Structure formats: C-alpha cells, structure tokens
Amino acid sequence: MKSLFNLDNPFMQFLARVGDLILANFLFLICSLPVITIGPALTGLHKVTQKIADDSLNSTVKTFFEGFRENFRQAAVSWAGLLVFLICMVCNYLLIISYFTGNTAKVLKALLFFLVCVVLGISAYLFPLMVRYENTLVNHIRNAGILAVIKLPRTLGMLLLNNLPFLLLYFSIPTFSKTFVFWLVIGFGFTSYISSIWLLPVFREMEAPKGPNMRILD
C-alpha cells in the first residue's frame, strides 16, 4: 500500500502530469481572457506541454509564464494576424452565402475552407516553434510552412485536434455542451500535450547533428 503513494510510482506520476495539465489549462484560459493575449497564452501552454512530453518539467506555473513572457511580442503579433485573417474569412463566407448560389458558391466555400486549413495548419507549428527556438518571426513562419507540408499527416492530425472544440460547436452544439466541462478543466492542455508528443520527434530530427535531417532557418 505504501508503494502506491510513492512519488516514483507510475500511477502517481500519471496523476501528477494530469494535475500539471489541469493547472496549465487553467492558466491558459485565464491569460486568454483579454483575447489579444491568446497568442502568448498559447506559447506558455506549449512550453509546459513540451516540457511534460520530454519529461523535464519542474514548475508548471514558472514554465508557463516563462513561455508567456519570452515569446510575448512574436506570439501577440502572430495571433493578431491570425485573428484578422479568420475575421476576414468569416466575412467572405457571409458574402458568399448572401450573393452566390449553386456550384459557384460551393467552389468559393471550398476555396475558403482550403485557405483556412492552410493557415491553421501553419499555425499548429508556429507557436511550438517559437517556444523551442529563438528566431525571427519571418523565419518561424517559413519553418512552420515547410513543416506543415513535409509532415502532412501530423499537420492534419494537429489541425483536427487543435480545432476540435470549434468543430463540435459548429456541427453539434449538444455534443459540445456535453464536453464543455472537459475543455474547461483540461481540454486545451490535453490537446497541446498530444501535439507536443507528435512534434517531439520532428524537433529531434531537426536538431540531429548527423545524417539526413531538417534544418531550421536561422
């Protein structure tokens, strides 16, 4: 019985990581309330989950605010650009359904959907790259674009995972309502953690000193 509560016990380590994700999720939600700080909040969340993924996390709160503070400018600018883009896409969608019908509307909607997927796919790499590497914003965007293409299966997986709550909200409000508590308590931390697990081999491949690997743009 004593071994069950040993901190080195796998079960206790699992509970500790769940607690870290819940705390990181809470910090992310609180720091996202001003809306304009969602970008820095994302980098704070990704810093925590990357540390959990490579088993190097010491303090959740300290790590979160390190990621929040260190990448604030780049993350805030990136999020502002992404937000403006998404607002423009919504406006374009409203124009399409108001002025076009038939095949023309279908083609235009498909084009909008493709553009949104491309930008969100790049964004899935952009904020984790900011956390992992020091670089200019332009090079971060270039690297994110390259990774989004050459790691397409991971890109599609993260695209679905990162936008799952919004897809649920759009396609099934009752289903979203049933999962609302999950997203409120741990959901965003959990999806960020899964993304970090998927990205860790990619980062290690980029950082490999020998053999064929990807190089980040400096």
92-105 pLDDT per residue, tens: 999 999 999 899 99
Domain boundaries, the chain: 2-207
pLDDT average, residue stretch 78-90: 97
Q: How confident is the model at residue 206 (pLDDT cuts 50, 70, 90)?
A: confident
Tokens linked to 171: 């396609």
Backbone angles phi, psi at 44, to 5 degrees: -65, -45
Residue identified by tokens 């909200």 is: 169
Per the CB < 8 A criterion, the answer to whether 192 and 46 are in contact is: yes
Q: How confident is the model at residue 139 (pLDDT cuts 50, 70, 90)?
A: very high
26-63 pLDDT per residue, tens: 999 999 999 999 999 999 999 999 999 998 898 999 99
